[in-house]
Amino acid sequence: MRAIVAKRVESGTADLAELRDLAAAAGYTVVGELTQTRTEDPAYCFGEGKVEELAELVVRTDADTVIIDNEVGPFQMFNIGQTLPEETEVLDRFTLILDIFGQRAQTRKAQLQVELAELRYELPRAAAKASLAKRDERPGFMGLGEYDESRERDIKAQIANINDELEAIADKEAQRRAERRESGFDLVALAGYTNAGKSTLLRQLAAELDVDENADKHPDLDSVAESQDMLFTTLGTTTRRAELDRREVLLTDTVGFISDLPHWLVESFQSTLESVYRADLVLLVVDASEPIQEMREKLVTSHDTLHERNEAPILTVFNKVDLLSEAELDEKRAALSGIAPNPIAVSGRTGENIETLRRRVEAELPDWKHERLLVPMADETMSLVSWVHDHAHVETESYEADQVLLEFDARPAVVEQARARAADLNPVEST
């Protein structure tokens, strides 16, 4: 598939870098570019002369698709299509993103979210097409199809049904998060823009194997996290275990942020973002090799997205430091200190500073409680000891006469469970 990428901006110079990456992620080969700086033309989005120039570029490059990095209305889309050579497909930015999402959606949850986004995208366009068809009093006006009020009702009904199913999935995931916390795991989510290197970083931090002892309880834990130089490699979530110095955590990599996403598209993926919002700690991963202004804009947008519903502290990670000098890194630290105070600089590719990041993650996680249990030796005592070792960091384990002393640090929920189990053994002492 051969594509022309085009963009109109109100002022300044149009940047097509991200659109080129999006097109490549969707499987297109970009064979030409076109930009324009002007106010929006109500009929064509671009100026009419610029659309004619676009048509000439399509012929000259033998392109079969035009991808526009703007939100293009149905009337504008029709007018552009009429100017281009016959059979040329015209996509706007959000149609392209939905196409990518559709290609990457593997799980039922991801497929539902993509379908929800497509319906939310179509809903206002269905209303516009119905209005245009009614005004012209011809079914299928401008090739738009027979859209009427019943189509709008159908879309709204489908949206309601998908929301109900996604809510059911979210309830199950909330229960799973609670079970993981009760099992002694802290939950750490990786967030950030696409291609910031989240999946590569996950591979560096995570253990080689899944949580074998919890395979039945947590069948969704993945042993592989892809790391490719491609947008939206991770559409759903990938969760793996990581061992820190004193505790184990579950790391979750999610779909990457992307600039200029409309509210309806972000809302469609709220179910996936719940794994970020409900984490104990969020690692906000930033590509440190990008220019300072681009890093700042992405940090601001990421914080806006996360602070809307996020409950966890945020630790900023400057990734890909192997691609810049120490002086460049110092400059970026200083320039971005207001929005990214005390970031940790790492390289997911080379492993530089990964151990420092592990220590920092442990320091930023919620404090554990210290517990001391003195229990009698009984039939179930060793089962309790083994359970505490699996769910906590044991500092002392000693055997005296017919008693066992355990001193450990753990999540408050784990401490409460340990106390309850110990109570069944009629413990001599619990403090």
Task: List residues forming the annotated binding site for GTP.
Answer: 192-199, 253-256, 319-322, 347-349
Fold of 369-430: Alpha-Beta Plaits (3.30.70)
Convert the pLDDT of each residue in 277-308 to its tens digit.
778 899 999 999 999 998 998 898 888 877 76
pLDDT greater than 90 at residue 319: yes
HSE at residue 96, side-chain half, CA atoms within 13 A, is: 31
Q: Return the CA Rg of the chain.
A: 27
What would the mean pLDDT of 382-402 be, rounded to a whole number? 84
Q: How many CB atoms lie within 10 A of CB 393?
A: 17
| Higher pLDDT, residue 213 or 134 | 134
- In the numeric block, the tokens 């109900």 are attached to 164
Task: List residues forming the annotated binding site for Mg(2+).
Answer: 199, 234
Cα–chain center distance at 292? 22
Residue 216 has a pLDDT of 38
Convert the pLDDT of each residue in 306-315 to its tens digit.
776 667 788 9
Extents of the domains making up the chain: 2-101, 105-172, 183-364, 369-430
Residue 46 to residue 40: CA distance in whole angstroms: 6
Give yes or no on whether 2-101 and 183-364 have one common fold.
Answer: yes
Residue 7 has a pLDDT of 95
The mean pLDDT of the chain is: 80
Cα dist from 21 to 92, 103, 195, 320, 416, whole Å:
14, 15, 10, 18, 50
DSSP string, 75-143: HHHHHHHHHSPTT-EEEEHHHHHHHHHHHH--SHHHHHHHHHHHHHHHHHHHHHHHHHHHHHTSTTGGG
What would the mean pLDDT of 263-282 be, rounded to a whole number? 71
3-class SS of residue 50: helix
Nearest to 194 by CA among 143, 150, 239, 259: 259
What would the mean pLDDT of 238-262 be, rounded to a whole number? 78
Residue 208 has a pLDDT of 47
Backbone angles phi, psi at 47, to 5 degrees: -70, 155
Convert the pLDDT of each residue in 45-80 to its tens digit.
999 999 999 999 999 999 999 999 988 887 888 899
Query: Looking at the domain that runs over 2-101, which CATH code has it been given?
Result: 3.40.50.11060
DSSP string, 233-269: S-SS-EEEEEE-SS-EEEEEE-PPB-TT--HHHHHHT
Q: How many CB atoms lie within 10 A of CB 212?
A: 8
Pairing of strands 186-192, 281-287: parallel
**Which strand ranges, in their side-by-side order, compose the sheet holding 89-92?**
29-37, 2-9, 65-68, 89-92
Task: List residues forming the annotated binding site.
Answer: 192-199, 234, 253-256, 319-322, 347-349
Fold of 183-364: Rossmann fold (3.40.50)
Cα dist from 178 to 160, 279, 390, whole Å:
27, 11, 17
Q: How many CB atoms lie within 10 A of CB 138?
A: 10
Q: What is the dihedral of CA 97, 101, 102, 106, to 10 degrees?
A: 170
Residue 203 to residue 169: CA distance in whole angstroms: 26
What single-letter DSSP state applies at residue 190? Answer: E
Residue 83 has a pLDDT of 92
* Token pair in block for residue 157: 């009904």
10 Å CB burial of residue 325 (0-12, 13-18, 19+) is exposed
Residue 342 to residue 340: CA distance in whole angstroms: 6
Convert the pLDDT of each residue in 72-128 to its tens digit.
887 888 899 999 998 899 998 888 888 887 777 777 877 887 888 888 888 877 766
HSE at residue 132, side-chain half, CA atoms within 13 A, is: 19
Residue 119 to residue 155: CA distance in whole angstroms: 6
- The contacts of residue 382 (CB under 8 Å, 6+ apart) are none
**Strand boundaries in 381-423, DSSP class E:** 393-400, 403-410
Banded model confidence at residue 267, pLDDT cuts 50, 70, 90:
low
